Structure 1
Amino acid sequence: MAQNVIAVYPGTFDPMTLGHEDVVRRATQLFDHVIVAVAAGHHKKTLFSLQERVDMVREAVVRFPQVEVATFSGLLRDFVVARGGKAMVRGLRAVTDFDYEFQLAGMNRSLMPDVETVFLTPSDKYQFISSTFVREIAVLGGEVGKFVSPLVEERLADKVRSLGRE
């Protein structure tokens, strides 16, 4: 078995959900070092700023000493190679994720032949959670406490208030 394997778990994490946290936990059981790579999100309109998302992720993973949080923009390939990544972690919630993730893994293999994509599924109770749904529920005044940590729930409430949508 390889030693000191670095895995990168990329995403926008807008916001970090309990499903994301579960995938991080699972990744820490497989890899020596996990880098949660928070994307600048130039291709998506995010609710939270990059720094807010980084702060939420750091709070969520503080209990895992082998997890590092970093940001990236541009090609993920450049980030993974520069950081010495040997695996890329991707979360799969349902069959609907598979087609996109399968295509993405193929592209990543073409760009990074020495990096393996590893698909991890969250626990059953988190498989339906998506950041998109959580944001929408929060903005529309719904309860999101069972989908995110208390710290993220508080930040969502603050953000919704600041937008005047409460």
Structure 2
Amino acid sequence: MAAERTGVYPGTFDPVTSGHMEVVRRSLRLVDRLVIGPAINIGKGPLFSLDERIEIIKEDIEEFPQADRDRIKVVPFEGLLIHFAREMGATVIIRGLRAVSDFEYEIQMANMNARMEPDIETIFLMASDRHQFIASSLVKDIARLGGDTSQFVSQKVFERLKRKFGKG
């Protein structure tokens, strides 16, 4: 019997978008167990607290079939991603790419991680054409300015954004 493949999908997820959820769904085709790791990264000054981001991710995962939900854990992390991946028993780190500009940064990170931990691979999943342009920072900007973000995030995230910015 083959060993269980565990993947780690790290990110700030501030907020989680439909593009993030697409990567989660596609990742489940590649791994047996998926750990979604919202980063404790105060440096980015997140809109949503860590607890809120964890709650939002868990709410969005509730839309998945039970068999898929059973294979997902949400575990926040701080520090080096490679240390977190090792701690989770991961064999792969999953990264979503939207554009070529993402690739330059991500390939550097993947190469550094491979040097530190050669047994953990990095897998890049290209966003589908309908999600390529969605970035959490743009979603926040649209919401802050009173725009409609409902096509970029789940209904629950949309409602949270409206409350956060006092719109609606």
Residue 123 of structure 1 and its aligned partner are, at CA, apart by 1.9
After superposition, where does 1:6-155 map in structure 2 within 5 Å?
A: 6-62=6-62, 63=64, 64-65=68-69, 66-155=71-160
Q: 1:2 to 1:107 in 2, by over 3 A?
A: farther
Residue 68 of structure 1 and its aligned partner are, at CA, apart by 0.9
CA distance in 2, matches of 1:118, 1:32: 15
| Equivalent position SS for 1:43 | helix
CA distance in 2, matches of 1:32, 1:3: 9
- Larger CA deviation: 63-72 vs 6-15: 63-72
One-letter identity of the residue aligned with 1:108:
N
Q: Where in structure 2 are there 5+ consecutive unaligned residues?
A: none
Structure 1 stretches (4+) deviating beyond 2 angstroms? none
TM superposition score normalised by structure 1? 0.94
| Equivalent position SS for 2:9 | strand
| Equivalent position SS for 2:165 | helix
One-letter identity of the residue aligned with 1:56:
I
Residue 70 of structure 1 and its aligned partner are, at CA, apart by 0.8
| Equivalent position SS for 1:68 | strand
Q: Where in structure 1 are there 5+ consecutive unaligned residues?
A: none
| RMSD between aligned residues | 1.5
Residue 2 of structure 1 and its aligned partner are, at CA, apart by 4.5
CA distance in 2, matches of 1:146, 1:129: 10
Residue identity over aligned pairs, in percent, reads 46
One-letter identity of the residue aligned with 2:75:
A
